[in-house]
Amino acid sequence: MNEVLTSDRPKARAGEAASAKKVVTLDETVVEIISDSGEGAQRCGQSLGAIAAKSGNGVWTVEIIPAEIQPPARSVAGASGNRIRIGSHRITNGGDEADLVVAFNEQVLLGRVRAGELKPGCIILLESMWRTNRNAAIAESYVSTHDQLVKAGYRVYEVPLELECRKLVKDPRKGKNMFVLGMLCSIYSLDLELGREQIAIAFGKKDHKVIESNTALLEAGFAWAEANLDLKYEIPGVPVTAPRMVMNGNTALALGVLASGMDICAMYPITPATSASHYLSDCFEKVGGIVHQAEDEISACAFAVGASYASKCTVTITSGPGLSLKQEAIGLAVMAEIPLVVINVQRGGPSTGQPTKPEQGDLFAAMFGSHGDAPKIIMATSTIEDCFYSVITARKLAETFNMVVVILSDANLATAQQPFPRPTFSEDWLAPPLDQAPVPAGARPYDWDPVTGLKRRFIPGQPGGMYTLTGLAHDRDSHVAYDPAVNEESHRSRSLKLAAFQRTLKPPAVFGDTEGDLLVVGWGSTKGAIEEAVTRLRAEGRKVGSIHLQFIQPMASGIKEIMQRYKKVMTVENNWSDDPKDEIINEDNRRYGQLAFILRSRFLIDIDCWTEDRARPIKPGTIVAALRAKLAQ
């Protein structure tokens, strides 16, 4: 640690400051920090998460992002910030309603109140400068909102953020966030030294003055809270014994690309996938990799297919609408049996849809989106750690089976941060060196194995392997062939590969009761929330369990047997399904959640679904209510 940063600083540590406040020990808590965009609430939240993680706490952070870059100031829909759930144990999701909210103005706060994001009686720390605003309308809005909130039972503390920060910096808009971070360190008895470290990391690239002024703000916030607030909590952490990493899902995906040994990522910017490419652009080239930003997604995917054809497996990263544009090239890769990894960070809707909001809406598009029969492997990531390892697995599968592997992540995982054990590098992660050995005489480019459908791929540069890849129906020599038997043989071979891979899959592990009244089936980012809901219901004595599918295509054996051990089976998904209680909905026209649809058709079991599509991560409490209702049916 740099001398400049540590000398002559108040050494305020947990419990050190002179306070006779009663310290309340919590098992876990949910904090939100919200502001207009550009006021730094996000950085404050991320820093709080990192400090808590370093203190040995379980952490999950959720970004609160408005769809616009610069929404009007003080607008209800403009809340920008972070939700941080901190626990004494491992935290796997963003939790239910917030216990404490720091708001930089009353309007963004109103947005969160209306969305039902605050617990009854939630503590609110509200910037008080608006009370005396020269604009009477603003002052009035503040006062009336404040009074309403107090009346509604929230514990509102007015905090003179602006006033206090102005004592230290000229432009408090740029510094309030670190003042708030200091306050939160005091409130949750976190080590201020970790806060200083975090500032050094966050502003590392800037000059010392910036670090110093932010550190001063941090300390001032801490001191202010110590002196003026009667809030003091402690969330005991478990001492960190092995190195862990904290990052969001998109960073983990990008690191997975690095670790998989792939050389090239071809992409076109689209939220929420882009941040993965941003980070990759920064770190990939340092190890000889290349991020190619193509002119559009069609080009990006065709580019990736071309690169894969001539070399190692390549990856393309996108979100929903981009996936649609890539489908033709994906179909070609399937037909020509070129390995390809497609990462789709799902979001809601077409055009710009709900670009910053989560939805598990692209399972069908991934599975059926290409023309004709296009068998490919589809896997879903369910934790941050999973985002990292999935890419390594996908690369390996793509090259072993000469297949397209689609990884489905989503906006929830993309921006959520969670600690996980630091991986230990293995050379097995990397793609083997390029095969440039001569092809044995008589070998053919599509010599499908009659049982597994597998064939060896010839790579340009290999003497004797010359063939012309084609998207047309082709025979074992890659010659265009329209005769019916050849067409069926090539279809069969491509399809068999999925079965060959399926034979290697183990049944998914059951969480909770291994038999009983209700089995929940999920996929993707809802894992933590589902398992938490199952845990809560079991604590009430209910017989429930859950499975979470990593591979949706192909699906492991044994799933049907697991389902048959429960009276009821239901999927929980963050996408659309018709509500059977709607007036004109009946069994003949009800549209199911995407996984439910697939499970029903595969297993011929009456699998129900409960889905929510509110453009936000599903809360465990909401799932508990849905499962209770299902159990009561």
Partner 1 sequence: MTLEATDCLVKLYEEHHNLEDYQGGVPRWCTGCGDSGILTAVQRLCRDNDLAPERTVFVSGIGCSSRLPHYMKTYGFHGIHGRALPVAEGIKLARPDLDVFVSTGDGDCCSIGAAHWIHAIRYNMNMVVMLHDNHVYGLTKKQASPTSPLGFKSNTTPRGSTLLPLNPLTVTLGVQNVSFVAQAVDWIPELLYEILAAAYKHKGLSFVRILQRCPQYLPKMFDPWLQDPQKSLILTHDRGVRPSAGLAKIYRNQQEHDPSDINRAREIASLEDPIPVGILYQNPDVPRYEELRNAGQLRTADYIKAGLEAEFDKFTIWPDGHDAPAA
* Residue with smaller CB distance to partner 1, 321 or 593: 321
Q: What is the rounded CA–CA span in Å between residue 596 and residue 607? A: 6
What is the rounded (10 degree) CA torsion for 366, 370, 372, 375?
-40
By CB under 8 A, name the one of 241, 351, 589, 633 that touches partner 1.
241
Whole-Å CA distances, 200 to 6, 193, 500: 11, 11, 51
By CB under 8 A, name the one of 222, 224, 309, 551 that touches partner 1.
309
* Residue with smaller CB distance to partner 1, 115 or 298: 298
> Least Å distance between CB 158 and partner 1?
35
> Least Å distance between CB 396 and partner 1?
15
* Residue with smaller CB distance to partner 1, 54 or 232: 54
Binding mask 363-402 for partner 1 (x = CB under 8 A): ----------------------------------------
Instruction: Enter the DSSP assignment of 12.
Output: -
Instruction: Enter the DSSP assignment of 174.
Output: G
By CB under 8 A, name the one of 17, 109, 184, 264 that touches partner 1.
264
Residue 235 makes contact with partner 1 by CB under 8 A:
no
By CB under 8 A, name the one of 183, 184, 266, 607 that touches partner 1.
266
* Residue with smaller CB distance to partner 1, 334 or 569: 334
* Residue with smaller CB distance to partner 1, 220 or 258: 258
Q: Which residues fall within 8 angstroms of residue 121, CB to CB, at 6 or more apart?
A: 153, 154, 155
> Least Å distance between CB 82 and partner 1?
17
Instruction: Enter the DSSP assignment of 30.
Output: E
> Of 268-307, which residues contact partner 1 (CB under 8 A)?
283, 285-290, 292, 294-296, 298-300, 302-307
* Residue with smaller CB distance to partner 1, 240 or 509: 240
* Residue with smaller CB distance to partner 1, 19 or 470: 470
* Residue with smaller CB distance to partner 1, 350 or 463: 463
φ, ψ of residue 142 in degrees (nearest 5): -65, -50
Q: What is the rounded CA–CA span in Å between residue 185 and residue 233? A: 10
- 20-28, 224-232, 467-475, 551-559 -> range binding partner 1 (CB under 8 A): 467-475
Residue 359's SS3 state is coil
* Residue with smaller CB distance to partner 1, 220 or 315: 315
Q: Which residues fall within 8 angstroms of residue 68, CB to CB, at 6 or more apart?
A: 37, 78
> Least Å distance between CB 506 and partner 1?
28
> Least Å distance between CB 274 and partner 1?
19
Q: Which helix (H) or strand (E) holds 491?
A: helix 484-502
Residue 469 makes contact with partner 1 by CB under 8 A:
yes
Structure tokens at 341: 């990894």
Binding mask 310-349 for partner 1 (x = CB under 8 A): xxx-x-------------xx--x-----------------
Phi-psi sector, 512: left (phi>0), alpha (psi -120 to 50), beta: left
- 32-40, 469-477, 506-514, 564-572 -> range binding partner 1 (CB under 8 A): 469-477
By CB under 8 A, name the one of 65, 123, 138, 259 that touches partner 1.
259
Binding mask 473-512 for partner 1 (x = CB under 8 A): ------xx--------------------------------
**Residues 319, 325, 326, 327, CA torsion sign:** positive
φ, ψ of residue 169 in degrees (nearest 5): -135, 160
Q: Which residues fall within 8 angstroms of residue 151, CB to CB, at 6 or more apart?
A: none
Residue 569's SS3 state is strand
CB 337 within 8 A of CB 399: no
User: ω before 554 within 30° of 0 (cis)?
Assistant: yes
Q: What is the rounded CA–CA span in Å between residue 103 and residue 83? A: 12
Structure tokens at 77: 């829909």
CA angle at residue 484 from 482 to 488, to 5 degrees? 105
Q: Which residues fall within 8 angstroms of residue 242, CB to CB, at 6 or more apart?
A: 421, 422
Residue 243 makes contact with partner 1 by CB under 8 A:
yes
Residue 423 makes contact with partner 1 by CB under 8 A:
yes
> Least Å distance between CB 528 and partner 1?
20
Size of residue set near partner 1 by CB under 8 A: 69
CA angle at residue 315 from 313 to 319, to 5 degrees? 155
* Residue with smaller CB distance to partner 1, 449 or 483: 483
* Residue with smaller CB distance to partner 1, 118 or 439: 439
Residue 424 buriedness (CB in 10 A; 0-12 / 13-18 / 19+): exposed
Phi-psi sector, 201: left (phi>0), alpha (psi -120 to 50), beta: alpha
Of residues 253, 250, 248, 254, the one with CA closest to residue 282: 254
By CB under 8 A, name the one of 249, 339, 348, 419 that touches partner 1.
419
* Residue with smaller CB distance to partner 1, 169 or 280: 280
Binding mask 37-76 for partner 1 (x = CB under 8 A): ----------------xx----------------------
Residue 622's SS3 state is helix
DSSP-derived pairing of the beta strands 80-87 and 58-64:
antiparallel
CB 251 within 8 A of CB 276: yes
By CB under 8 A, name the one of 29, 35, 213, 308 that touches partner 1.
308
By CB under 8 A, name the one of 155, 206, 422, 492 that touches partner 1.
422
Instruction: Enter the DSSP assignment of 348.
Output: B
Of residues 574, 566, 563, 561, the one with CA closest to residue 611: 574
Residue 282's SS3 state is helix
> Least Å distance between CB 239 and partner 1?
6
Residue 461 makes contact with partner 1 by CB under 8 A:
yes
- 35-43, 346-354, 472-480, 540-548 -> range binding partner 1 (CB under 8 A): 472-480
- Which residue ranges make up the site for partner 1 (CB under 8 A)? 53-54, 239-247, 251, 255, 258-259, 261, 263-264, 266, 283, 285-290, 292, 294-296, 298-300, 302-312, 314, 328-329, 332, 419, 422-423, 425, 427, 430, 460-472, 479-480
